[in-house]
Amino acid sequence: IRRQRQMCIRDREKSMAIKIDLRVPPCKPLPEITDFVSKCEDAGFDGVGLLDSQMLERDVFVSMAHALMNTKSINVASAVTNPVTRHPSVLASAASTLAEVAPGRAKIWIGRGYSSANVVGIPPATVRQMRDAVVTMKSLMDGEELDFGTITSRMKHGGGETTPVYIAATGPKVMRVAGEVADGAVLMTGIHPDQVAKSRELIFDGARAAGRDPDDIETIYTCTTIIRDDLKEAREVARPLAVARLMQPTYKRWLKAAGMDFSEFELPRGLWDLYPDVPHAEDWEKAKELCAFLPDDALGQLCDSMGLIGTPEYCAERIKKAEEAGMEHLYLMTDQSYEFPTGELHAFRDKIFPALGR
């Protein structure tokens, strides 16, 4: 009986532990994608996020379905899809189908779709489009009839198992919308405690304005994650990703929230010419060259606010601090867009998860 009680306590403590998902680009043939997701499951990750960028990666929903059918417990999310290259009715149908494949394990993360839209010459989704898409998707999955212009339609296979829909958000308007209509929010604000507090306040404001319980909205914090045996080396690898934050006007709010101001630095114009953008740059060496202007001390501050960048031991301690600060779910976004994050998987499996008692 005593042993059973101890096992129950350990199981309860494990269930209360911070959730950790890993970003996995569907950059290889489908069987290899699923094999890597299976390795993530075996390593102890709670979930994976598969990119949706039709010109850069394999199809996200085919990849999600295949991975879900060949794993047992890991959650699989679209990280992130969008309502401009995919009509909300198409997204709703895909989401409902995934719920049939693996009930409770599929998640739809929806955002503006920069890398999907930019490469085919269309504008990314507006805040209004994202809000309308989430409302439409949830209604169709529930089996409701909706008006589409002069046509009223319903999804024949709606009304069954539904898939949670999250909104990826960086700015305050989108965060409030996530609180109003979504099941959760995937936030790229940084993980400084003040950044977390301010972003949650915005989401909770949106939830309360819509008459919803703020505690029903899950918050997932995106962590830029680069793990090396040397702290300086890890930060150098992260340099283009750190500079990409400085290029985003919206992100200045979150730097300010963490007490950081980098307005003194002039950004090279060539950064905007990288294809398709700095975080996904095909010419990574050129990206690093253009980002060399940022001093090491500023780079260090940015890296610590962005996520988990350093040695396995350094990152394990930062996760512990994040959990102490009240964060419940982290999404690890590595620097790899065209390769699997094998190094980070091994670091978590062999060093970080054991250090966290998992």
Please report the pLDDT score of residue 7 as a whole number: 41
Structure-token match 């003194």, residue found? 264
Please report the pLDDT score of residue 239 as a whole number: 92
Please report the pLDDT score of residue 16 as a whole number: 52
Please report the pLDDT score of residue 159 as a whole number: 95
Mean pLDDT for all residues in the chain: 92
How far apart, in whole angstroms, are the C-alpha atoms of residue 143 and residue 157?
Answer: 7
Model confidence at 280, pLDDT cuts 50, 70, 90, reads confident
Model confidence at 12, pLDDT cuts 50, 70, 90, reads very low
How far apart, in whole angstroms, are the C-alpha atoms of residue 176 and residue 207?
Answer: 7
> Can you list the alpha helix ranges (DSSP code H) found in the chain?
2-16, 30-43, 60-69, 88-101, 114-118, 127-141, 172-181, 193-209, 231-246, 252-257, 284-290, 296-306, 312-324, 342-347, 353-355
Mean pLDDT (whole number) for 176-189: 97
pLDDT score of 266 more than 50: yes
pLDDT score of 3 more than 50: no
What's the length of the chain? 358
Is the pTM higher than 0.85? yes
The secondary element (H helix, E strand) that includes residue 102 is none
Query: Other CB atoms closer than 10 Å to residue 32's CB: what's the count?
Result: 13
Structure-token match 């993980």, residue found? 191
The separation between the first and the last C-alpha atoms of the chain, rounded to the nearest angstrom, is: 23
How far apart, in whole angstroms, are the C-alpha atoms of residue 140 and residue 161?
Answer: 12
Under a CB-based contact definition with an 8 Å cutoff, are residues 164 and 108 in contact? yes
Dihedral pair phi/psi, residue 345, rounded to 5°:
-60, -50
Distances (CA, A) of 213 to 81, 183, 190: 26, 11, 24
pLDDT score of 312 more than 60: yes
